[in-house]
A and B are shown apart, each in its own frame.
Chain A
Amino acid sequence: MSNTKIETKTAAQGENPGRRRRSNNFTKRDRAVIAGLVGGPTILHVVFVWLPAIATILLSFCQWDGIGGLSNIHWVGVKNYAQIFTLYSDFKIALRNNTLWLLWFGLIATPLGVVLAYFLDKNLKGTKFFQTAFYLPIVLSLAVTGIIWDYIFKVNGFLNIVLGYTNADTAPSWFGDPHKNIWVVLGIASWRHIGYMMLLYLAGMKSVDPSLREAAAIDGAGEWYTFRKVIFPSLRPVNIIVVVVTVIEALRAFDLVYIINRGKNGLQVLAVAVYENILGESQRIGWGAALATILFVLCLGPIMVYLYQNFKKVD
């Protein structure tokens, strides 16, 4: 609704035959202010986002141990990429884990968040309490989340003690099995992600015009049908955010696994591989940069396609 208001306002301004009809009618001072306001952030953005990003992409074609100046950087072409895809065994595990993460978030955690939002939107008894309870994990950083859950699930942690296991060697191991520990981690990650998704949808649902629901009800639409055909489509701006957030959260996963076991033994993820190669005791900057570039493309790809699709419809 607010969109239409803005549109009418700008339209009214456009009709106004005032002194600002053409942009070159700006005074010098106006131009300086605009240049400052637009140029300042642009320069900061270019310097702190684009230049490092481009430098990373360039470095991904080089070999460098991070010691010494530019003369120690050697161009090696696509060798880093070739090696990463063919013989870096941890990369395959990391890629699998990030894919699992994305699928799990996309198919299970996010829909669960929508379901929670749907029920909490009905103003059931205790809604405020549940809203707060489900949202609480977001207040904690992922690192803190990791510390809490690590304390619960580690082999001599809270859960095993409650279950009565006092010998760390005979207790069930939640993080030790490289084929299963990723599922424990996904469960922990969902604890936080579901609340986040719930909040985004709840905010969206609250802003849905109640007359839409009334109209649907009058036309005889059932509750599920109304949600599917009326409410959900009207939440498109929220959906865009949710898809972008889900993709990014799944691909940048780092804190949780790093705190649990430094992203080893079945918990390899791309972000840890980037970190280990760029910031570890031994630096393979080129490799790390290539991994970062792969991660960047993976993030950017689906997001760009999705945004493009959506904004095309708007225009």
Chain B
Amino acid sequence: MSEIFEDGISRRSVIKGSIAGAGALAVGGVVGGATEAEAATRAKTVSLGSNQSDPAAVKNDNAWLAAAKTAGFNIKLNRVDHNTFQNQINQYLQGTPDNVFNWFAGYRMQFFAAKGLVTSINDVWSKIGSQFTAGYKNASKGLDGKYYFVPTGWYPWAVLYRKSVFADAGVDASKIVTWADFIAACKVFQAKGLTPIAFGDKGGWEAMGTFDFINFRTNGFKFHMDLTAGRVKWTDPRVQKTFNNWKSIFPYQSKNALDMNWDDATALLINKKAAMQVMGAFAAGNFKDPADLADLALFPFPQIDPAYGREAVEAPIDGYLLSNSASKNASASKALAAFIGSTAYASAIAAVAPAALFANSNMPKPTNAFAKQQVELVQSCKYIAQFFDRDSRPDFASPIFANALQKFIAGGDSVAIAKDLQAQWDALPPA
């Protein structure tokens, strides 16, 4: 366990730690991955920046924080509203950031690593690495190949629906494979007076999920990733194919999309006023009634071009990073990072969130039906995207692309919008 503390810890403190660790072993029934937990059992003070502000997320957060406290951590929690946290991340990281903070995998993490605003944690990964598959290892590295990120959980995006609503309408979700199947189902629901596809885009980012799916179903995963990274132009005619395919489901989407947030749209699904929603599986957290949650299911976003089938999915990975302030509190911060990577962390959340999915491969397979569906969905896919705002440049995704999608949804001309997007991309400073 002393290997965790490679940064010049005195032998005495290591010995102290192992004594305390032995104590923990004696006291609690130790779950898998307890080596990290026991390493952390010295009373360690770490500051933690959390963006987990939604009620469901707070519940999960509190569960693992209690486990961390039991493991001997003294965590100074700084919880910030989810969107505010993201908006202020630049000032936060350059000011007096907390040692450890919530963040996302993808370019959105690599960007800050490249700017030198986060601490590399190769030494933590030498301890926890065996508990993660290669996919997570790659997702945790910066562009320089060093580890920065501790992945905790993930969720796929898919078409969410209520089994009872589909049964009432006589629609079989497993038969919705192609775009034509999807539109046919939409027509059935519309005839029944339901909104076929609940859709909210008031925040601007929600529509990126639908865009991503239609784009890689229409033009393939490679094209999509090239587009997010700016390797192909927005003026490419294939972008118009994506927009045109999207337009073909406009009659079935919420007409008030621009006046609803994602959770307003999810509420339509919960209240059986809408049949489906293209959303991240985290929306399950809003199904408060266990009966409603048991009624929730998903199916993969339908195929558009058979050449690309349903081979790709959006499955963003969430986790934690160490800020530069962690270097002044390195041993405690890294011990917490190791704890977060352990099954002790994941088990604590699993106890309160049965449908949650974890990055740690030592976690038992989920038993919750909705969670199982999520795992199957991702395992059936060849390619995994993070999400537009995690795969693309932050100065493009949120301030430029989100606004462009809102203009498209409001009925704007997609050719003009694509032209505008390319012009604005070209005006960005070199990354």
Contacts and interface: CB of A to CB of B under 8 A. Distances in A.
A177 B406 contact: no
A66 interface: yes
Given A87-B424, A171-B256, A262-B203, A63 B90 contact: no
Contacts of A262: 203-204
22 contacts: A63-B429, A67-B115, A67-B117, A89-B420, A155-B259, A168-B259, A168-B264, A169-B198, A169-B254, A170-B255, A175-B259, A176-B256, A176-B257, A176-B258, A264-B402, A276-B399, A279-B90, A280-B87, A280-B395, A281-B86, A281-B394, A282-B395
A50 B172 CA distance: 67
Interface in B236-284: 254-260, 264, 267-268, 273-274
Main secondary structure of the interface of B (DSSP, over half): helix
Interface string A153-172: 01110000000000111110
A178 interface: yes
Nearest to A179: B410
Contacts of A170: 255
Contacts of B130: none
A268 B407 CA distance: 12
Contact of A282 (B195, B259, B393, B427): B393
**Residue among A83, A171, A176 with the highest chain B CB neighbour number at 10 A:** A176
B91 interface: yes
B256 A66 contact: no
Contacts, number: 112
B395 A265 contact: no
A90 B406 CA distance: 12
A282 B399 contact: yes
A283 B115 CA distance: 13
A283 B90 contact: yes
A264 B406 contact: yes
Interface residues of B, number: 43
B204 A169 contact: no
Contact of A65 (B87, B398, B429): B429
Size class of the A contact interface (CB-based, 8 Å): 35 or more
B427 A87 contact: yes
Contacts of B198: 169
B202 interface: yes
A210 interface: no
A281 B117 CA distance: 13
The winner among A87, A90, A276, A281 for most chain B CB atoms within 10 A is A281
B268 A167 contact: yes
B133 interface: no
The 3 closest A-B pairs by CB, nearest first: A176-B259, A282-B395, A282-B394
A239 interface: no
B268 A168 contact: yes
Given A87-B420, A168-B264, A173 B259 contact: yes
Given A156-B264, A261-B202, A279-B91, A284 B259 contact: no
Interface of A: 63, 65-68, 83, 87-90, 154-156, 167-171, 173-178, 261-262, 264-266, 268, 276-277, 279-284
Contacts of A89: 420, 424
Given A173-B259, A265-B258, A279-B88, 15 more contacts: A87-B427, A154-B259, A167-B268, A168-B259, A169-B255, A169-B260, A176-B202, A176-B257, A177-B258, A178-B410, A261-B202, A265-B204, A266-B410, A280-B398, A282-B398
A231 B350 CA distance: 74
Contacts of A265: 202, 204, 258, 403, 406, 410
A65 B431 CA distance: 10
Contacts of B254: 169
Contact of A277 (B115, B273, B399): B399
A91 B383 CA distance: 37
B15 interface: no
A88 B424 CA distance: 7
Nearest to A82: B427
Contact of A178 (B203, B399, B406, B429): B406
